[in-house]
Amino acid sequence: METKDFLKKFKGFSVQDFEDLTYAMIKPDAVSAKNEIIRDIKSRGFGILFQHEYQFSKELAENFYSEHKGKGFYDRLVDQMTAGPVVVLILKKKGIIPCYQLWRDELGATNPANAIEGTLRNTYTQKLFGGPEAYAEGRATNCFHGADSVASVIRESNLVLYDIAMS
């Protein structure tokens, strides 16, 4: 589905619809494994409503992570997000638990060194970098993003989808 067509559909979603949706992203360091990751995401029961490979500008990365401005990792995060394309995803999964939380559970701990076996962050830190110790040593990055609330799903989706549509 074209971005502009998806945006029209997206505008029609109610807040209740967002309980079953989430904004997700494969960050630049993992895009090389995107096909395997997409298969893995689907095998975990998520539908993919929208998928688009996109290069974040510095301005978009700064706006996207604005709540972290002033924190020690902010500049490094902006640099990571602009180092190459990302894969933007709008995922869907119905359940008693909101989709964003189901996705974050599948991701595992933000620090891949603390992510339990079988979570996406653990799995792909192993496959792409050789293991969690690579993260601790600075050779690996957190390869995924997951919105942390329904409000973040709405904000992040709007920010990125409109940027894509305007490019």
Residue 88: give its domain's CATH number. 3.30.70.141
Whether 47 is covered by a domain: the verdict is yes
Whether 107 is covered by a domain: the verdict is no
Is 52 tagged catalytic?
Answer: no
Q: Per the residue annotation, which of 24, 145, 156, 160 is the catalytic one?
A: 145
Mean pLDDT for back-to-back runs of 10 residues, the chain (167 residues)? 81 90 96 98 97 97 96 92 97 96 96 91 91 77 93 95 91
Whether 87 is covered by a domain: the verdict is yes
- Host domain of residue 29: 3-97+142-166
Task: Give the global pTM.
Answer: 0.94
Q: What's the alpha-carbon Rg for the chain, to the nearest Å? A: 15
* Number of folded domains that form the chain: 1
- pLDDT tens, residue by residue, 31-75: 999 999 999 999 999 999 999 999 999 999 999 999 999 998 899
Rounded Cα gap, residues 123 and 107, in angstroms: 9
